[in-house]
């Protein structure tokens, strides 16, 4: 079965440094999401793309976070500068369309530790 690819699997960085995460959704999936999951919590939406366009970034801390999906396929999430409170799992998910009845396919995530 096709999978959502994410890299790196783990990232350790010092505060004030820049970090970037990459996601390649399942082929043909028009909708891509970046979620942040703190240990013991549910995934929280950071940004939603429909093809190459951002359709929801209301919860994205735009002073330090940025996301792009230039060709409507793979996506990059960047944090600059990283803060201690950014330590979390960053999950990418995709689905065929943004219809609410479509299920999400999650990648394995990037575990970020900020020291």
Partner 1 sequence: GQQVMQIPQYQHVQEGEDFTTYCNSSTTLSNIQWYKQRPGGHPVFLIQLVKSGEVKKQKRLTFQFGEAKKNSSLHITATQTTDVGTYFCAGSGGGSNYKLTFGKGTLLTVNP
Examine residue 52 and tell whether it contacts partner 1 (CB under 8 A): no
- CA end-to-end distance (rounded Å), the chain: 36
Examine residue 25 and tell whether it contacts partner 1 (CB under 8 A): no
**Residue 28 · residue 6 · CB < 8 Å:** no
Nearer to partner 1, 73 or 104 (CB): 104
Shortest approach of partner 1 to residue 59 CB, angstroms?
9
Near partner 1 by CB under 8 A: residue from 27, 42, 70, 71: 42
Please count the other Cβ atoms lying within 10 Å of the Cβ belonging to residue 54: 13
Please count the other Cβ atoms lying within 10 Å of the Cβ belonging to residue 5: 14
* Contact footprint for partner 1 (CB under 8 A): 35, 40-45, 48, 50, 55-56, 91, 98-101, 103-109
């Amino acid at each position: 079965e096709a999978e959502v690819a994410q890299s790196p699997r783990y990232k350790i960085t010092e505060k004030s440094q820049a970090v970037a995460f990459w996601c390649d959704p399942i082929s043909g999936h028009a909708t891509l999401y970046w979620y942040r999951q703190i240990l013991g919590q549910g995934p929280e939406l950071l940004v939603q793309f429909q093809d190459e366009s951002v359709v929801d970034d209301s919860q994205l801390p735009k002073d330090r976070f940025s996301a792009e999906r230039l060709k409507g396929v793979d996506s990059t999430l960047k944090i600059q500068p990283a803060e201690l409170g950014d330590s979390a799992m960053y999950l990418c998910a995709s689905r065929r369309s943004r219809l609410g009845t479509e299920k999400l396919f999650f990648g394995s995530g990037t575990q970020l530790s900020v020291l």
